[in-house]
Amino acid sequence: MLAASISITRLSRSTRPTCGTPWMSKVPTLNGSTGVMLVWAETGTAQTSATSRPSIRVRRITLLWVIPSLERVRLYPRGPGLSSRWNVNPYTGTMPRASIVTVCGAVVALALGVETRPAIGQAGTTARNVVLFVGDGVDDHQLTIARNYLLGADGMFVFETFEHQAAAKVLTVLEEDPHMPEYVGDSASGGTAIAAGVVTSRGRIATRAGTGESVPTLLELAAGAGKRTGIVTTSSITDATPATFVAHIGRRFCEGPRDMLPTPTDPRCPQDLKANGGPGSIAEQLAVSGVGLLLGGGYEHFDQPDEAGVSVLRRAREAGYLIVRDAAGLREAAGDPSQILGLFGDDTLAVEWVGEDGGRARPIQLTVGGQVIDPAPFRCVDNPRFGSRPTLEAMTLWALTRLESTPTGFFLMVESASIDKQAHAGNPCGQIGETRALDQAVRVAVAFQERHPETLIVVVSDHGHSAQIVPWPSLFAASRADAQYPPGKVARLRTLEGGLMAVSYGTNTHYLEEHTGTQVPVFAQGPGAAPVRGLIRQSDLFGIVRRALALE
């Protein structure tokens, strides 16, 4: 990213170009060299579809982006939710160095061929603030699927430009024998490893396998050191990942008081009932946690009576929380000094993107003669059910704006939850849109870091997932005479650069796909980021962040 001090002069009417006349400007970058300014030449004729080019007559110039170290420029048709009718890839692009590209009615750019590096947080080992992003279910496959669709095969997300990168081993143990590994984790065990530095069993929230002993979390340690704290997620705030930073309970599914009650086949969480000396459900713990801001879904888990018959919502209000339900309410709460409990949906929030015409991965179909029927390709479109909830980007911006003036610093955890949830459902557009939401939220944090270089940004994942890119036609299609059991489900996406990408969900043909036991990527920049390199344990992230915040 470029330094915040860059000044761009607004174009006057007399300097606006006509069709075929390139307009470009040299701009200073952080290290004093020169970068590239991209502009949008708007035409007078409206675009008829997301993939049609606008007409030729130029009407207005709008600044799009300033990119250092550009090699080539690509144009991508508008994706859902993007403002301009054609969009330059904002993360990477290509064009021959020291040459001019003119696309009438689209983008004009000058590449100067000067190598620059993105601005990063100040060097050093101590951070005042930490923004920890969790891309739930993100592994290299999930990132590549989203990158190919959104940015092209040679694209790059903003966090993939971070100076410090690593691969993290996802370690999990058996509940009945904590000395024995379990090779596939979940969000509870992975979240606990990140939040508390403890390798635990699947389903446990910030507690040790076997004993149930509670372990302190990064958020709790930060609060104890006088820092402000916050949680932002697109899931219910009682879901496994956010819960691991705030709550302590034996089973992740005991989200509200009703979930604690035993059934004939499941004892649920008896040891965590308040009547038995426990802390209560996850919602009950969050309601009195003192976390400065809690933004996500989960209203249904708070709209329940506790063991004393009192609504958890009432408990939260009595503890000083202002409860907001939509984006408008969040905006209105900007100046309110109260702790904020944002509940923007009953449970997990709706995703921003879906497949057009209901497109998703489906089991492979065969003709009567046994030939494979190619799945119909589809694109991703806006989800009409997204509603009035704030986007992850908006929630992250709101949280950082609120925390910005904190003299003692802060710890903020931001989760893009539905990469995992949509991969479970075999919905590639849902997980691609959610990965885009993660990237947009990270960009907000990077802009914040430019103003506050004492901020450490870390992007992590809790576990791997099922989706992978496969060739099409597949070997299954070629060997159909011998293949009796079609593997999993497949979707074919038509990407924004015009290609066809086949995505397979191959863990089973059940309605719910499963996690995988792969290592996961880690990206970091800012003070204290240097230990993020090579192959590390997922639980090492706890120590890295703890040392960066001097919480020893």
pLDDT, tens digit, for every residue of 187-217?
999 999 999 999 999 999 999 999 999 999 9
Catalytically annotated residues: 187
Assigned token pair, 388 = 């009035």
> So what's the pLDDT on residue 472?
80
* In-domain check, residue 311: yes
Cα–Cα distance measured from residue 145 to residue 223, given in angstroms and rounded to the nearest whole number: 37
> So what's the pLDDT on residue 481?
53
Pairwise pLDDT comparison (17 vs 494), residue with the higher score:
494
- Of the residues 101, 119, 137, the one at which a domain ends: 119
Cα–Cα distance measured from residue 523 to residue 118, given in angstroms and rounded to the nearest whole number: 14
- Of the residues 93, 119, 145, the one at which a domain ends: 119
Helix axes 540-548, 187-196, angle to 10 degrees: 40
Condensed to tens digits (0 to 9), the pLDDT of residues 161-174 reads 999 999 999 999 99
- The answer on 168 and 312 residing in a single domain is yes
- The answer on 227 and 366 residing in a single domain is yes
- The answer on 140 and 105 residing in a single domain is no
- The answer on 115 and 133 residing in a single domain is no
- The answer on 178 and 96 residing in a single domain is no
Cβ atoms of 387 and 503 within 8 Å: the answer is no
- The answer on 19 and 77 residing in a single domain is yes
- The answer on 82 and 222 residing in a single domain is no
- The answer on 143 and 108 residing in a single domain is no
Assigned token pair, 143 = 């990132």
- The answer on 351 and 223 residing in a single domain is yes
Distance linking the first and last C-alpha atoms of the chain: 32
pLDDT band per the 50, 70, 90 thresholds, residue 365: confident
* In-domain check, residue 124: no
Structural domain containing residue 312: 129-548
- The answer on 28 and 56 residing in a single domain is yes
Condensed to tens digits (0 to 9), the pLDDT of residues 70-109 reads 333 333 333 343 333 333 444 333 333 323 333 333 333 3
Cα–Cα distance measured from residue 324 to residue 342, given in angstroms and rounded to the nearest whole number: 5
* In-domain check, residue 342: yes
Residue 365 sits in a domain whose CATH number is: 3.40.720.10
Per-residue CA distances from 338 to 129, 291, 317, 402, 412 (Å):
21, 11, 10, 11, 17
> So what's the pLDDT on residue 375?
87
pLDDT band per the 50, 70, 90 thresholds, residue 480: low
> So what's the pLDDT on residue 482?
53
* In-domain check, residue 174: yes
> What is the count of structural domains for the chain?
2
- The answer on 199 and 109 residing in a single domain is no
Condensed to tens digits (0 to 9), the pLDDT of residues 241-260 reads 999 999 999 999 999 999 99
Q: What is the mean pLDDT of residues 346-368?
A: 90
- The answer on 526 and 443 residing in a single domain is yes
Cα–Cα distance measured from residue 287 to residue 217, given in angstroms and rounded to the nearest whole number: 17
- Of the residues 87, 119, 151, the one at which a domain ends: 119
DSSP 391: P
Pairwise pLDDT comparison (12 vs 445), residue with the higher score:
445
